[in-house]
């Protein structure tokens, strides 16, 4: 009886030793670990198999997937690869690591575990038949990128709200140029991001919700796409609260002799707001001031002013423009001055003729000899042709034969006196001609005598005859 108990105890001890050491009958200790144990459809899982030889002689081994364990017989695994190879030698009392890469099909059904069995055989020892099972979880594509969203407890319309998007690449492969779509009932945004294998990244941005959005609950869906295929998705609800506020701004713009004041009242809240605005003004300013919309003019003990009363719906703007413009007065005065200056200019920019007289001598018998000078000048910027210079002499004065350098072309005698005519072919711009001649009186000159003005005639634009007169002369003769 005791012998049987000892025998059973010995068997249990031997079994315990075998379980703890995981040593098989072939003298091998086999273990495995995951390197990339979670992949998406079409991805490659990586495991490490450790094979320890506990015997005192080398072992030659061959590794391969189980029969019918890869495509086309498997609907999950496309192929299995071994590094450094499927044929290995495990030296005595040593350990060898083999990297196993399991390539899954694109069509593999996600969200489940798959077991790949690796068979270990010996081409020498037909009794050595070991295997190990490698477990891989296939991630749904929609879960390849994890998404966590940080939102304010309450979104404020019309203001910037900070949004945090935490992204996690659950796979080992880099994801370049992921398209992000933010879709909501009140806004739509798009962005682009890249994630390295197992990288975590935070996207931070400020979202400004339209001030017209009413308070309430709204939905938000975030989706990530790679080449048109979804890689991550997240949906949630958020709340938009009230924002009862009125923004007031007055903008004054000064221009040339004008001032524009823009009064803006913007309702950024969710309820109507009643408001009144007044704008002080003087009686003189009122003559040159316009308002849009038209304000009510008020005159009382508080002074002169325009007033407006209005109600602003949520999200609306009420705008008042007050413009004081003195420019029309300025330009009216300026136009008048320009006309006056232009008339003066036209008179000055023509032909001028100036007449002067000098007393030369007086004979004993009382005959006075005078010298008359006519200064003819072209004040324009162009040549003037065919000018006539006409001077009149009273009956008591007659010309001498000394006419200087330019003699008159005609001398005409009339009942009231004599008319002398000179003809000038051309005057250049700025050119001046001086016509001089001597005259004598038939009777002694006593007191003052009026000499008529000289006249210059020429044709201007459009064959218009232009007449320019000189000054009149008053000549003082001998006192009685």
Q: What CA–CA distances, in Å, run from 168 to 121, 155, 172, 189, 232?
A: 41, 25, 11, 20, 10
Reported as a pLDDT band with limits 50, 70 and 90, residue 245 is confident
Based on the number of CB atoms within 10 Å of its own CB, is 381 exposed (0-12), middle (13-18) or buried (19 or more)? exposed
Question: Is the bond preceding residue 293 a cis peptide, omega within 30 degrees?
Answer: yes
pLDDT digits (tens, 9 = 90+) for 277-325: 999 999 888 889 999 999 899 999 888 999 999 888 887 899 999 999 9
Based on the number of CB atoms within 10 Å of its own CB, is 301 exposed (0-12), middle (13-18) or buried (19 or more)? exposed
All residues at 6 or more sequence positions from 447 whose CB lies less than 8 Å from its CB, including other chains: 476, 477, 479, 480
- Is residue 35 scored above 70 in pLDDT? yes
Q: Cα angle at 175 between 171 and 177, to 5 degrees?
A: 160
- Is residue 242 scored above 90 in pLDDT? no
Tell me, what's the pLDDT at 306? 93
DSSP H helices in 41-124: none
Average pLDDT over residues 412-420: 86
Region of residue 266 (left: phi > 0; alpha: psi -120 to 50; beta: else): beta
pTM strictly above 0.85: no
Average pLDDT over residues 136-146: 84
* H or E stretch covering 283: helix 283-286
Identify whether the C-beta of residue 32 lies closer than 8 Å to the C-beta of residue 52.
no
Tell me, what's the pLDDT at 25? 47
Tell me, what's the pLDDT at 20? 40
Question: Is the bond preceding residue 72 a cis peptide, omega within 30 degrees?
Answer: yes
User: DSSP of 177-194, one letter per residue?
Assistant: EEEEEEEESS-EEEEEEE
- Domains and their CATH numbers in the chain: 23-139 (2.60.40.10), 142-240 (2.60.40.10), 247-327 (2.60.40.1170), 349-476 (2.60.40.290)
Helix (H, G, I), strand (E, B) or coil at 350: coil
Tell me, what's the pLDDT at 6? 60
Mean pLDDT, rounded, of the chain = 85
CA nearest neighbour of 33 among 131, 105, 133:
133
Reported as a pLDDT band with limits 50, 70 and 90, residue 11 is low
pLDDT digits (tens, 9 = 90+) for 209-239: 877 788 888 888 899 998 888 888 888 898 8
- Is residue 70 scored above 80 in pLDDT? yes
- Is residue 480 scored above 60 in pLDDT? no
Reported as a pLDDT band with limits 50, 70 and 90, residue 442 is low
User: What are the structure tokens assigned to 6, written together?
Assistant: 């000892």
pLDDT digits (tens, 9 = 90+) for 318-364: 999 999 998 888 889 889 999 888 776 666 558 889 999 888 877 76
- Is residue 443 scored above 70 in pLDDT? no
Bridge partners of 148, per DSSP, are 166
- Within 10 angstroms of residue 295's Cβ, the number of other Cβ atoms is 20
- The values of phi and psi at residue 151, to 5°, are -120, 155
- The values of phi and psi at residue 367, to 5°, are -85, 125
Tell me, what's the pLDDT at 21? 39
Tell me, what's the pLDDT at 4? 62
Based on the number of CB atoms within 10 Å of its own CB, is 435 exposed (0-12), middle (13-18) or buried (19 or more)? buried
Question: Is the bond preceding residue 84 a cis peptide, omega within 30 degrees?
Answer: yes
pLDDT digits (tens, 9 = 90+) for 375-396: 999 988 889 999 999 999 888 8
CA 233 to chain centre: 35
């Amino acid at each position: 009886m005791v012998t049987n108990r000892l025998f059973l105890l010995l068997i249990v001890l031997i079994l315990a030793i075998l379980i703890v050491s995981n040593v098989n009958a072939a003298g091998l200790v086999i273990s495995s670990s995951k390197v990339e144990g979670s992949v998406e459809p079409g991805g490659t899982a990586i495991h490490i198999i450790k094979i320890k030889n506990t015997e005192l002689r080398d072992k030659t081994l061959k590794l391969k997937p189980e029969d019918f364990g890869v495509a086309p017989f498997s609907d999950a695994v496309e192929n299995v690869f071994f590094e450094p190879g499927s044929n290995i030698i495990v030296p005595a009392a040593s350990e060898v690591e083999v990297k196993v890469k399991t390539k899954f099909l694109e069509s593999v059904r996600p969200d489940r575990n798959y077991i790949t069995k690796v068979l270990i055989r010996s081409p020498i020892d037909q009794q050595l038949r070991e295997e190990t099972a490698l477990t891989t979880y296939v991630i749904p594509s929609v879960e390849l990128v994890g998404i966590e969203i940080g939102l304010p407890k309450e979104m404020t319309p019309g203001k910037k709200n900070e949004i945090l998007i935490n992204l996690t690449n659950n796979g080992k492969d880099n994801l370049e140029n992921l398209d992000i779509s933010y879709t909501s009932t009140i806004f739509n945004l798009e962005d682009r991001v890249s994630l390295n294998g197992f990288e975590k990244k935070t996207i931070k941005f400020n979202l400004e919700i339209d001030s017209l959005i009413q308070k309430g609950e709204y939905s938000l869906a975030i989706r990530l796409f790679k080449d048109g295929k979804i890689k991550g998705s997240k949906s949630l609800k958020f709340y938009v609260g009230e924002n009862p506020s009125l923004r007031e701004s007055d903008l004054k713009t000064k221009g040339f002799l004008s001032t524009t004041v823009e009064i803006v009242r913007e309702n950024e809240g969710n309820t109507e707001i009643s408001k009144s605005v007044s704008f002080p003004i003087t009686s003189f300013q009122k003559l040159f001031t316009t308002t849009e919309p038209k304000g009510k003019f008020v005159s009382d003990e508080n002074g002169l002013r325009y007033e407006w009363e209005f109600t602003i719906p949520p999200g609306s703007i009420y705008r008042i423009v007050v413009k004081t413009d003195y420019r029309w007065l300025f330009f009216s005065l300026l136009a008048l001055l320009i006309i006056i200056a232009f008339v003066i200019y036209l008179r000055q920019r023509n032909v001028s003729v100036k007449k002067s007289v000098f007393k030369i001598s007086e004979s004993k018998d009382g005959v006075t000899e005078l010298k008359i000078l006519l200064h003819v000048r072209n004040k324009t910027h162009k040549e003037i042709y065919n000018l006539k210079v006409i001077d009149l002499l009273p009956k008591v004065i007659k010309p001498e034969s000394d006419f200087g350098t330019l003699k008159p072309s005609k001398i005409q005698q009339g009942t009231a006196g004599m008319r002398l005519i000179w003809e000038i072919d051309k005057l250049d711009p700025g050119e001046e001609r001086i016509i001089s001649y001597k005259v004598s009186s038939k009777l002694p000159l006593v007191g003052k005598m009026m000499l008529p003005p000289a006249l210059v005639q020429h044709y201007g634009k459009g064959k218009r005859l232009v007449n320019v007169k000189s000054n009149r002369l008053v000549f003082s003769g001998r006192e009685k």
